[in-house]
Structure 1
Amino acid sequence: METTDQIKNEQQHSQTGPQAVPAPVDTACVERIEATIERADQLLDKAQQQETTCAVSVVLPVYNERETLQQVVQRVLRLPIHKEVLIVDDGSTDGTSKIADQLAEIPEVQVIHHATNRGKGAALRTALGITRGDVVIIQDADLEYDPADIVMLTQPILANRCDVVYGSRYLAPVQRDGWLHRSGNRLLTALSNLFTGQQLTDMETCYKAIRRSVLLNLPLQQNRFGIEPELTAKLSWRGKKIYEMPISYKSRGYAEGKKIGLRDALETLWCIIRYGMINT
């Protein structure tokens, strides 16, 4: 006869049933799942990278340009390229700051404010810290330079044919600046060429398109218009050939807001000599 303990053991066994045996792991299936997850992560990283980069960063240093700022930004935004617009309000006092903030509501536009007027070179250095484009180009906000030329100037760099392109006002068939300004510019350019070994016709041009990776490696120092010869000299010291393309240009007078003067010309002369003689 079965004892009471035997009966209890049989009842417990019948209630719990046999112990479950783990199914064998399908390693091939696990590897496929891991590969799928890894591929998904790669696609996500690529999508995020595309969202944080663009082809061209257009840097606009502005100081008291309320009459033209909105128009120049609108013309840049119409260009058929993937771009961003970085406005650096350099201590404006005429209402330019308010217009810049309104433009910043456009997704492609960012605005940085300087508390005081620090100069074009300082504005460029400020903008470089947040640029995302493969190419950086400087656009004056006074409409002396036509934004339509930006596509032409940046295309050779985007096509990996070169790293630097300057837009020359003096390669164009029609030149619309005064004799005195043109003569002074050519003299400064010739002196710059003497130090750098370049063969430029317009070192002082605003339109300088430069590959961002190259530009970020230049230890720029100048705050005002001395940035033009400094850029040219430091690119030359690093073995960069500077190419030129003709651009359209419509000069404005001092009554219309032109800001460069004798002080800036003397500063440019000093910077040509300083950076041309010493590799910094």
Structure 2
Amino acid sequence: MKHKTLSIIIPAYNEARTLFTLLEKVHHTRLVENIQKEIIVINDCSKDETEAEIQRFMETYPDCPLQYHNQPYNQGKGAALRVGIQKASGEWTVIQDADLEYEPEDFNPLLTWMIEHDGKVIYGSRFLNKANKHSYQRFYFGGRLLSIITNILYGQHLTDEPTCYKMFDTALLKSIPLKCTGFEFCPEVTAKVCRKGYKIKELPIHYYPRSIDEGKKINWKDGVIGIWTLIKYRF
């Protein structure tokens, strides 16, 4: 009997400090029902030692099912994710950032819900877990605002639209014509899933925020682009 597979797409840009540890965490995470992992790392033409860390991981864990793609030039997170989606072959696909803000063990409750409900899409919410901390108030309120706007425009009940942990039925994800190049992946994919008529389920996840000094890249301009993206694809 063929085991089912979760495709885990990891876009990386200048993440040499955390990527090896993150890949180890993903590799060592045991998934429910003996689901297998397909790890897809997209290096967005990093200027630091990101590629060396990926190579070190592959040499350390030669049996790990990892696909590696290096972008020819820096294009942005959305462009990297679009490449990863093309390469995904599992029954489900989840997005995983290359930092250590999220806990790969949280794949399991999301997968369990997808299996039990024959689900097509589920998000992991940082805000539903009251034990989580948030590094900056502007990020906290920005995430809340994006969620409220999503709910108003698309009739959802989301608490955390910009969460990294978005899990999809792979066939559904591949059917969505994405145009994003940067951080607007999140609002674009959310908007287009909503336009297809799906209600997005959420479950609480763990969150360990990093600071700007530690490499956090998103800023207020990305929030403005996110709001515009949600409005644009609604009308």
What TM-score do you get using the length of structure 2 for normalisation? 0.92
Deviation sequence 1:187-239 (CA, Å, 0-9, x none): 11101111111110000000000000100100001111111011111001111
Match of 1:250 in 2: 208
- 3-state SS of 1:171 partner: coil
Distance, in Å, in 2 between the alignment partners of 1:164 and 1:174 is: 24
CA distance in 2, matches of 1:159, 1:72: 28
Aligned with residue 77 of structure 1, among 20, 24, 27: 27
Opposite residue 269 of structure 1, the aligned amino acid is: I
Q: Deviations over 1:73-126 (max 9, x none)?
A: 111111223111100001101010122133345341111001222111111110
Aligned residue for 2:181, secondary structure, equals coil
Equivalent residue for 1:150, pick from 82, 89, 107:
107
Match of 2:73 among 116, 134, 142: 116
Q: CA deviation at 1:158?
A: 3.1
Which residue number corresponds to residue 192 of structure 2? Answer: 234
Counterpart residue identity of residue 266, structure 1: V
Residue number in structure 1 paired with 2:225: 267
- 1:129 CA displacement: 1.6
Give runs of aligned pairs for residues 11-22 of structure 1, distance below 5 A. Answer: none
Distance 2:22 2:160 in 1: 22
CA contact (8 A) 1:54 1:84 kept: no
Match of residue 62 from structure 1: 12
Q: How many angstroms apart in 2 are the aligned matches of 1:226 and 1:258? A: 16
Report matched runs for 1:1-280 at 5 Å.
50=2, 54-81=4-31, 82-105=36-59, 106-107=62-63, 108-177=65-134, 178-277=136-235
Structure 2 Cα separation of the partners of residues 110 and 76 of structure 1 = 14
CA contact (8 A) 1:204 1:229 kept: yes
User: What displacement does 1:160 show?
Assistant: 4.5
**For residues 131 and 171 of structure 1, what CA distance do their matches in structure 2 show?**
29
Gaps of 5+ in 2: none
CA deviation after TM superposition for structure 1 residue 247, in Å:
0.5
Find the aligned partners of 1:118 and 1:54 in 2 and give their Cα distance.
Answer: 32
Secondary structure of 2:104's match? coil
Cα pair 1:60 1:141 within 8 Å, conserved: yes
Question: Taking structure 1 as the reference length, what is the TM-score of the superposition?
Answer: 0.78
Distance 1:225 1:170 in 2: 20
Q: List 4+ stretches of structure 1 deviating above 4 A.
A: none
C-alpha contact 1:134 1:158 (8 A) present in aligned 2: no
One-letter amino acid of the counterpart of residue 128, structure 1: I
Aligned to 1:25: none
Higher relative contact order by CA 8 Å / sep ≥ 6: 1 or 2?
2
Aligned-CA RMSD value: 1.5
- Inter-partner Cα distance in structure 1 for 2:44 and 2:4: 25
Unaligned runs of 5+ in 1: 1-46
Tell me if structure 2 keeps the 8 A contact 1:104–1:110.
no
How many correspondences in the alignment?
A: 227
Letter in 2 for 1:194: I
* Matched residue type, 2:8: V
* Larger Cα-atom Rg: 1
Shift of 1:262: 2.0
Identity of aligned residues (%): 36
State the shift of 1:179 in Å.
2.1
Distance 1:171 1:273 in 2: 25
Contact 1:164 1:211 in 2 (8 A): yes
Residues in 1 aligned to 2:91 and 2:115: alpha-carbon distance in whole angstroms:
7
- SS of 1:248's partner is coil
Cα deviation 1:128-169 (Å, max 9, x = unaligned) = 122111100001111111111111112222344311110000
- The amino acid of 2:56's aligned partner reads Q
